[in-house]
Amino acid sequence: MATDITLNLQRHHVTIAEAMRTIISFDGEGRPIVAFRHGTNYVRGLSGEVLLKRALAPGQKERRKLPTDERRALLAELLADARRMIERIETEAPPAACDWFERIRRWDVERLEAERERFHAIYKPVSILPPDQYRALVLQATEGCSWNRCHFCTFYRDRAFRIHSPPSFREHIHRVKEFIGAGLGLRMAIFLGDANALIIPQPRLRELLRVVHDEFAIGPDADFKGIYAFLDIFGAERKTLAEYRELAAFGVRRIYLGLESGDETVFRLLNKPGSPAEAIEAVRTIKAAGIAVGVILLVGAGGERLAAEHVQHSLAALAAMPLGPEDIVYLSPLIVPPDSPYLAQLQAHASPPLTETAISAQLEELKRGARAVIGTGAKVVIYHIEEFVY
């Protein structure tokens, strides 16, 4: 085999690399999923969006979704690179590789780009997932956010909240399966979309979870290790310990809550539903049911004047939660959406927004503080919302 080309065949994906300068991985259908080229990383999501990630300077990264022209040009280059590498190694490659090469060669730019429309016929945009769930299989049991009024969050503004009926959810799942095809092998968890699927009243949620179990094997030894979902605190106060235990029995492994701030004033300024105290209570109940949690804090929330309280009370809220090694604390640096009411709220509280440098400093403070209050237990992870592509 050409000595500068390496081929890594896995059960559900394959990677071809040339002198480690160009590296491209493909899913079971032969679609490019991640690539490294000219010092830049790319991730192509199931939606057909491509995310670019590049280190600019120590601690500084460029992260952006490629616009159409750039995306099409990149895909053409990746496919050409892949064909060239395959041509050089195919006569000497192991027999198992030939089938992969066929699958990769089936794709051209037009066909890859046509996947975008197919995706949008099946899914509402998958706006965000927790970082440890980027490779989950998303099933939209609900669409949108039942609250949709937090001042900083514009993820679901484009759609009304709705809950699928069991038959329409089953149909959604069938269409997802058909679309993803052999790419399914890469997905090891199920994420119930969208923003707060666990707000679904228990009788309906039970029916929808039964549909998921009819369609997929879920368990520690199955292909899908568990079910995951977001929950806003407004919804959390409504489920009982017995109901969470039932969810645990259905394979729900971790629930993600956007606490954002442990400080009452900041919390209200953000217009989050519920309260920090209810969030602590919800975490206790969820943990008592044997389900792990992901708690999200919004770095920079509340601006300059409220910064010290935001940090102090957020750390106190974490300290009051029974977090263990299976739990994760996420720190999400606030990105102020241009069309959000957040800045007007800051003005009303006479608290100027934090600069990027001040947000970075608060991130470090929260990271150190969170590690100290939760000891060696839960993980503390940075949540960059611009790094997400599904």
Ligand X SMILES: C[S@@+](CC[C@H](N)C(=O)[O-])C[C@H]1O[C@@H](n2cnc3c(N)ncnc32)[C@H](O)[C@@H]1O
Q: Is 258 in the site for ligand X (CB under 6 A)?
A: yes
Q: Which of residues 65-124 bind ligand SF4 (CB under 6 A)?
A: none
In sequence order, which ranges of the chain are alpha helices (DSSP H)? 68-89, 95-105, 109-122, 166-180, 202-215, 233-236, 241-249, 264-269, 276-288, 307-319, 342-348, 356-373
**Angle between helix 276-288 and helix 307-319 axes, rounded to 10 deg:** 20
Answer yes or no: are the C-beta atoms of 190 and 212 closer than 8 Å: yes
In the list ligand X, ligand SF4, none, the entry touching 148 (Cβ below 5 to 8 angstroms by class) is ligand SF4
337 binds, among ligand SF4, ligand X, none (CB under 5 to 8 A by kind): ligand X
Of residues 251 through 280, those in contact with ligand SF4 by CB under 6 A are 258
The H-or-E segment that residue 52 falls in is strand 50-57
C-alpha separations of 269 from 136, 193, 353 in Å:
32, 26, 13
The reply on whether position 335 binds ligand X by CB under 6 A is yes
CA proximity to 47, closest of 66, 61, 63, 73: 66
CB closer to ligand X, 200 vs 257? 257
Closer residue to ligand X, CB minimum distance, 145 or 269 = 145
Residue 147 within binding range of ligand SF4, rule CB under 6 A: yes
Nearest to ligand SF4 of 22, 261 (CB atom)? 261
Supply the minimum distance, in Å, between the C-beta of residue 260 and ligand SF4: 7
Candidates 192, 194, 229; CA nearest to 211 is: 192
**Part of the chain binding ligand SF4 (CB under 6 A), chosen from 5-13, 152-160, 220-228, 360-368:** 152-160
Shortest spacing between CB 226 and ligand X, in angstroms: 18
User: Residue 128, interface with ligand X (CB under 6 A)?
Assistant: yes
Binding partner of residue 282 among ligand X, ligand SF4, none, CB cut-off 5 to 8 Å per kind: none
d(C-alpha 175, C-alpha 135), whole Å: 18
Nearest to 13 by CA among 1, 2, 25: 25
Residue appearing with tokens 């039970």? 206
Nearer residue to ligand X within complex by CB, 157 or 206: 157
Q: Are the beta carbons of 316 and 262 closer than 8 angstroms?
A: yes
* Binding residues vs ligand X (CB under 6 A): 128, 145, 152-153, 155, 195-196, 230, 232, 257-258, 260, 296, 298, 332, 334-335, 337, 385
- Residues within the interface to ligand SF4 (CB under 6 A): 145, 147-148, 150, 153, 155-156, 195, 232, 258
